Structures are given as structure tokens and as C-alpha cells.
Amino acid sequence: MSPVTLKSIAKATGYSITTVSRALGGHTDVNEETRRRILQVAQEMGYQPNLVARQLRSQRTYTIGLISPSYMYSHEDDFFALLIKGIGRAAARHQYDLLLSSHLHGDDEMDAYRRIVGGNRVDGVIVARTYRDDPRIAYLKSLNHPFVVSGRNAPGLPNDFPFIDADSQLGIHMMVSHIVSQGYREIGLILPPDDLAFTGYRLAGYRDGLAEAGIDYHDEYVIYGDLTLESGYQAAKTLLARAPQLTAIIAANDLMALGAMRAVQEQGFHVGHDFAIGGFDNIPAGQHTSPSLTTVSQPIIEIGERLAEMLFQIIEGETPADNGLLIEPTLVIRASTNHAHNQP
Amino acid sequence: MSPVTLKSIAKATGYSITTVSRALGGHTDVNEETRRRILQVAQEMGYQPNLVARQLRSQRTYTIGLISPSYMYSHEDDFFALLIKGIGRAAARHQYDLLLSSHLHGDDEMDAYRRIVGGNRVDGVIVARTYRDDPRIAYLKSLNHPFVVSGRNAPGLPNDFPFIDADSQLGIHMMVSHIVSQGYREIGLILPPDDLAFTGYRLAGYRDGLAEAGIDYHDEYVIYGDLTLESGYQAAKTLLARAPQLTAIIAANDLMALGAMRAVQEQGFHVGHDFAIGGFDNIPAGQHTSPSLTTVSQPIIEIGERLAEMLFQIIEGETPADNGLLIEPTLVIRASTNHAHNQP
DNA sequence: GTTGACACCCAAAACGTTTTCAGTTATAAA
DNA sequence: TTTATAACTGAAAACGTTTTGGGTGTCAAC
């Protein structure tokens, strides 16, 4: 009835706790016959090692942590779900578990990090959704605790930590070039909040694209949203009121793009014919909208997998081959920017 | 440099480990002045309690577990992502963490349960995606370990465990009634694999609906898929070949419904006008398809939240008010079954 | 001047492992 | 026969907490 421990197996077999531990641990210095006996008794008694005790003694948890605000990774935001999927895959391969700590919206995120990391609950953490000069990264570096970052610092700031990020500057650049190639030249942009690190890259990519096409940049063509569909809708309405000559809008994520699409359609435009909409993320919903959404795709699941692999290497004390990895995104052209896609 | 522990604080303040522990733990039998001193020193030294040691000593982890195959909770299957979101919310409120253990596809799921549960890593677990007479449930019951179940046993079998499930029998029944009310009477059904517990309820709901409408049941109108979009596509093609008189298809989840929709459209049908398609789950993509998908909606996030709340109660030794909860799903009528929705 | 009550503090045990170090026996070499 | 070596085993320490079960000292009451 009471939990079966090394001690109880020791008592049952007549061997010491040490020997039982070594036998089960597969050490060489235990007689083959005694190991057989011990293994069998352990089996019969249904022994399961107490992982917490093992963690305490060995100072290893075989667990990695992901800390997230509780309102994220939802259908409003597939990003976390996909990242978790990739991480989970890699973790399963390496026999690690994933500790997911959600903190309430108002709470200080740093507290969660201090608790989990300082509390020795994980061997490493994955930091996602980076801010400009992210304090979480500073904290982890000061502790010299293994971590990897999904994302990176804002443009111009140092990236002296292991990270993987999509080259979203290039992604938006490709999007602009494509939209220009379709004949649209008055292009608006809906950006994420300014404290997110990647916002600067998306703006830079936009300017790159315009410059390449020889189009002037106008401040009033750019507006900030908060990544939700609703905010995309509002932003597009504001943008159109402010600059009615617009014939295209690029949003920094698909959700805002879908909101923008709705706003634009309400204004009587025929998206894909007289107006272009471009997104970023390639969320599943974008395939099924009408018109389907042209977007920039980043392989989030794969990024999650590679991040985890990278973290495992760091935990094991190896130096990962790529300490900062920029992934080239791909442009997925669909009907919202392209006549040819419109009638299948 | 070395980690700051109760011991180091004891040394620094001159008090014993016991007193430091009791001071930080908020016990009453320590002088207010000494507590102040200890708190301050702990603060200065940046003390973070070692949670693993605490867990070992107190035999409580303040962690709940969710074990899932690593291919699940993806954009192919929003279910897990949403469930995790709900669980995470509730967990954040109660200061619990979530341990997510993914195991590789081929591995025995029971091993993961034995490892996590037997290894004392969690105070309770949430079992999702139940099978008929699920061995995981039998295991947890035999151990008398706190757990709750998302789903329940197959029809006719006992549910002697705490669970929350959507009443999918009623859900499909409502769907059939609605489709019949739109004038369709030759209705096919695409079911999930037979070993999943809820398959029987969906079939029963289908038969209920037919019976109520006075329509005969035909075996050849029913086919099994594996919940993926691709399998829905194949299943629908088979169904149409087998019974060309069909004018409607209900799929047991949205993904298969979308696959079926594609197959039906390829055959030249005009879904929403001369053919009806119904799904189940209300995944976000269904809003944006063309035509948009009529579906049965279950509040997965809320179910996750309530499951977690229920589990916390059980862990705390209370008896939850609802030990088995059936949630009434809602029918979301969109264009794939309804003319009126077709031209907004 | 003893007694009780109270406030405060601490040594040691316990949680269940892993590992270090030393001990015991059998065997081979000298 | 002694000695060195190898093969196996075990006692005890350690990981960092919390809790048990006293201690000590002060003060009021008798």
C-alpha cells in the first residue's frame, strides 16, 4: 500500500539500498545474478523511481520550461500552440518534459521566471515573444542559466544570446515586392505594438521593399495594432480614412490582416482585384477565407523543434553550431493579392 | 555565486535553518524583529526556495500533468491547444503549473503515465481523448491518484470517475434535425475511429435524429475516418461512390467536414444549395471557408478550465459538486447547410 | 522561590534518491 | 603462504526543504 521505494526493495531482497540503486541504474559493479533478482522484485512490486527525489539529488530535472501569459496560445494566436507542438516533439525524442507555467495577465512575468528558474524546476527555458532589451533575457544571462530565445532583440541592439528567428524583414520585403509586382503602389502597413522586438524588422522590411520599387515612404500609411483581428479591422478603417488613395494593406500578422480584409471589403473594395491584403504567419484560417490570404510563412513548429534541440545542447554543455539562427520565411501567394488565384 | 539556500541565510543572519524557514514561511512563533531581519537578508541575497526540495519534503508538487501524443494539439487538431489554454488559465489562478509530457507516436502511453504519476511529479492528471474502457483511467483508479477526464466511457459502459464531456449525442442529433429541416433527407455520416469513446455517441445521435424525422437508417451511409482533413476527403468520395443519392454529409469533426466539403465540391455539388455539410468542433477555420461551415460547438476552453478546477478540488480532498458533467453543445448554423447564409 | 504560561528558538529527522568511499571476499600472482 | 587485484557490496553523506519535539529564558502569579 505504501509507496514502493528503493528501501522497500532493499528490504525485500536483502540487499542494501546502494546495491538496489546501482542494479536498477545499470551500473557494472553489481553481480549479474543479483541484478536479475533485484530487477525482478522491483518489477513485481511495481517500482517507479521518485523523480522528485532523483531531481533533488542529481540537480537535473530533465525538464524545460516555457512561461507564457495565460491569454496567449489560443485560437486567437496559434503561435504558442505551434511552438509548443514543435518543442513537445523534440522533447519527446530527448526524453525531456515540458513545464508550462502560465501567469495571470496582470502579474509580473519576471516573478514567474524567478520562481521556476531560481526554484530549480527546469534545466533550461525557452523565452518567446521578445521585447526590446528583454529583461527576462538579462535575468537568465545574469544567472548563467541555460536558455534559448524565440525571436531576438530589436534592430540595432545586440543579440548576445542563442536565438532562432524568422527573417521577418526579408519576409515583409518580399511581400511588398510581390504586391508592387501586382500593380499596387499605395501600400499601408499595420504594425504590432512598438515594444515587441520584431516590430522594427517588419517596418524595416516595408521600407526596404518600397525603396527597391522606388516608392516614397509616407508616415501616415503606417499604423500600430495589437495583433488581434479586431485591432486590424480598426486600424484598416483608420488607415483608409486617413489615406483613401490606398490600394493595399500589409499587416504584421494574419489575424490583423483578416480584420483589415473585413474592413476593406465593407468599404466596397473587391479584395484581390482592386485591393491587395497581405498577412504574416500563415495561420490555417487564411487558406479558407474568401479571398484566401497571401501571407508570409515561418515554420513555427520547426523553429520550436530546433529551439528545443539547441537548448538540449546547451544544457548538456555543448556549444550549439548555430548560436543565432535567422530562418528565411517563404511567401505564400493566394487570392488576396493575385487575380489568377481568384476563380479556381 | 553558489546558490543561496536556507543554510546560507541562516549563516548570514546567525539564526538556525529552522528559524529562517519558519520566518519565511510566515509562521507565528518567530519574533517580528527577527523575521524582518531574515526577510531583508533573504531579499538582499536573492533567495528563491528550491521547489524540488520543497516538493520532496512536503510531497506536494503544485503541478498537474497532461500527457499527450506528440503529434496532437496542432493546427490539425485545435482541441489540445484549446484545452491547454483553459487548463493554463485555471492553473494560473490557483498557482499551479502544468507539466506537459509528450511521448513519441510509437511509445506506450501507459509508460508515460507510470513515469509521471508513479514518479510523483504531479499532484493530479487530466486524461484527454478517452478510449473505450480506457486503461489509463483504470491505472489511475487503481493508484487512487487524483485525476479528471475530458470525455467519458463509450455508451453503455460505466463512468465511475470524474469527467466533463460534451453531449455529442445531442449535438449530432441537433445537426441532423437542422439538416432535415433544410430539406435534405439522404444524409451520410463520417465517424472517428471506433476505439475512441465518443464515436458511439456520435453514431447514436445520428440515429436519434433520423428516427425523429422518420428516416430509415442505412449502414452504407456510415463510414469511418481518422479525424484528419485528408481522411474526410477520402471518406466523402467513398461515400458518394457508394451512395450517389446522398445530399448531405455530417462529419464527426470539422477537419473531416472540410475534407468532405472539398470532395463534394469536386463532384460538382454546390454546397449550401444542393448539398449540406455539417461538422463538429467549431474550429476557427470553419468561419472562413466558402461556404462557411455549420458545426456543433463545444466550449473547449471552458471545459479545460472546469476540468482543472475540478481536479484542484479533488487534490485538496474536497468532493467536487459535479462528479460527471455533460455539457450541452450548441449548433452553429452557417452557410454550408443554409441558403440564407450564402449571400451576405 | 517555585510554578506555569508564554514567546522564541534550534537540533535532528524526514522526504527518496545517487554517489563516494571503504569494506569484504575470492581469485590470481608472487 | 602471502599479497595484490578484481569483483562485489554497503554505510553514510548529500541534495534543500519542512516539521517534530523539545529547549531556554522571561515574566506573572501564587
Q: What is the CATH number of the domain that holds B15?
A: 1.10.260.40
The share of chain A scoring above pLDDT 70, in percent, equals 96
Chain D footprint positions (protein CB, under 7 Å):
7-12, 14-21
Picking from A184-193, B97-106, B140-149, B161-170, which range would have the lowest pLDDT averaged per residue? Answer: B97-106
Give the separation between CA A25 and CA A13, rounded to whole angstroms: 16
Domain identity same for A336 and A198: yes
Which three three-digit cell numbers place residue B262?
Answer: 472539398
Q: Is B99 within 8 Å of A99 when comparing Cβ atoms?
A: yes
Chain A residues near residue B101 by CB distance under 8 angstroms: 97-98
pLDDT given for residue A74 in this prediction: 42
Specify if A310 maps to a domain.
yes
Q: Which long-range contacts (CB under 8 A, 24 or more apart) does A130-139 make?
A: A130/A196, A130/A197, A130/A198, A131/A195, A131/A196, A131/A197, A132/A157, A132/A195, A132/A196, A132/A197, A132/A200, A133/A157, A134/A197, A135/A110, A136/A109, A136/A110, A137/A161, A139/A110, A139/A113, A139/A114
Q: Which nucleotide is nearest to B5 (CA to C1')?
A: D16
Specify if B313 maps to a domain.
no
Work out whether the CA dihedral B196, A304, B89, B116 comes out positive or negative: positive
Chain A residues near residue B301 by CB distance under 8 angstroms: 74
Averaged pLDDT of chain A: 93
Domain identity same for A203 and A335: yes
Residue B295 pairs with which residues in a beta bridge? B332
Give the separation between CA B275 and CA B261, rounded to whole angstroms: 9
Chain A residues near residue B102 by CB distance under 8 angstroms: 88-89, 91-92, 98
Count of domains forming chain B? 2
Domain identity same for A80 and A185: no
CA-to-CA separations, B19 to B11, B117, B275, in angstroms, rounded: 12, 33, 75
Chain B residues near residue A52 by CB distance under 8 angstroms: 52, 55-56, 61, 119-121
CATH code assigned at A192: 3.40.50.2300
Domain identity same for A278 and A246: yes
pLDDT given for residue A101 in this prediction: 94
Listed residue (B315, B325, B312) closest to B92, CA to CA? B312
Domain identity same for A200 and A281: yes
The separation between the first and the last C-alpha atoms of chain B, rounded to the nearest angstrom, is: 66
pLDDT given for residue B71 in this prediction: 61
Specify if B81 maps to a domain.
no
pLDDT given for residue B80 in this prediction: 83
Spatial neighbors of A49 by CB under 8 A, at least 6 apart, are A24, B119
> Does the pLDDT of residue B339 top 80, yes or no?
no
Q: Minimal Cα–Cα distance from B238 to chain A, Å? A: 24
Give the separation between CA A110 and CA A174, rounded to whole angstroms: 36
The integer distance in angstroms from the CA atom of A21 to the C1' atom of D1 is 39
Read off the pLDDT band of A76 (50, 70, 90): very low
Specify if B119 maps to a domain.
no
pLDDT given for residue A341 in this prediction: 65
Domain identity same for A184 and A310: no
Residues 278-307, chain B: which have Cβ within 8 Å of A? 283-290, 301
Specify if B136 maps to a domain.
no
Q: What is the mean pLDDT of residues A237-242?
A: 98
> Does the pLDDT of residue A344 top 60, yes or no?
no
> Does the pLDDT of residue B164 top 80, yes or no?
yes
Work out whether the CA dihedral B10, B14, B20, B24 comes out positive or negative: negative
Q: If you measure CA to CA, which chain B residue comes closest to A93?
A: B104
Domain identity same for A176 and A275: yes
Q: What phi, psi does B101 have (nearest 5°)? A: -115, 110
Picking from A160-164, A243-247, B16-20, B129-133, which range would have the lowest pLDDT averaged per residue? Answer: B129-133
> Does the pLDDT of residue B6 top 70, yes or no?
yes
Q: What is the mean pLDDT of residues B94-108?
A: 88
Domain identity same for A257 and A194: yes
Read off the pLDDT band of B341 (50, 70, 90): low
> Does the pLDDT of residue A339 top 80, yes or no?
no
pLDDT in tens, A137-195: 999 999 999 999 999 999 999 999 999 999 999 999 999 999 999 999 999 999 999 99
Specify if A271 maps to a domain.
yes
> Residue length, chain A?
344
Picking from A261-275, B200-214, B330-344, which range would have the lowest pLDDT averaged per residue? Answer: B330-344
Dihedral through CA B333, CA B335, CA B340, CA B343, nearest 10?
140
Partner residue facing B88 (CB), from A70, A114, A286: A70
Q: Is A115 within 8 Å of B289 when comparing Cβ atoms?
A: no
The integer distance in angstroms from the CA atom of B70 to the C1' atom of D18 is 37
Domain identity same for B197 and B337: yes
Chain C footprint positions (protein CB, under 7 Å):
7-12, 14-20
Angle at the Cα of A61 (from A58 to A62), degrees rounded to 5? 120
Specify if A57 maps to a domain.
no
Specify if A54 maps to a domain.
no
The integer distance in angstroms from the CA atom of A30 to the C1' atom of C25 is 14
Mutate to test the interface with B, among A101, A103, A114 (most CBs of B within 10 A): A101
Give the separation between CA B102 and CA B106, rounded to whole angstroms: 12
Domain identity same for A88 and A144: yes
Domain that holds residue A113: 63-164+300-326
Q: Does B213 touch chain A (CB under 8 A)?
A: no
8 A C-beta contact, residue B99 and residue A99? yes
Domain identity same for A70 and A160: yes
> Does the pLDDT of residue B75 top 60, yes or no?
no
Residues 32-71, chain A: which have Cβ within 8 Å of B? 46, 48-53, 55-56, 61, 63, 68, 70-71
Domain identity same for A148 and A182: no
Q: What is the mean pLDDT of residues A131-135?
A: 94
Q: Using the CB atom, is residue A24 less than 7 Å from strand D?
A: no
pLDDT in tens, B248-302: 999 999 999 999 999 999 999 999 999 999 999 998 778 878 899 999 999 999 9
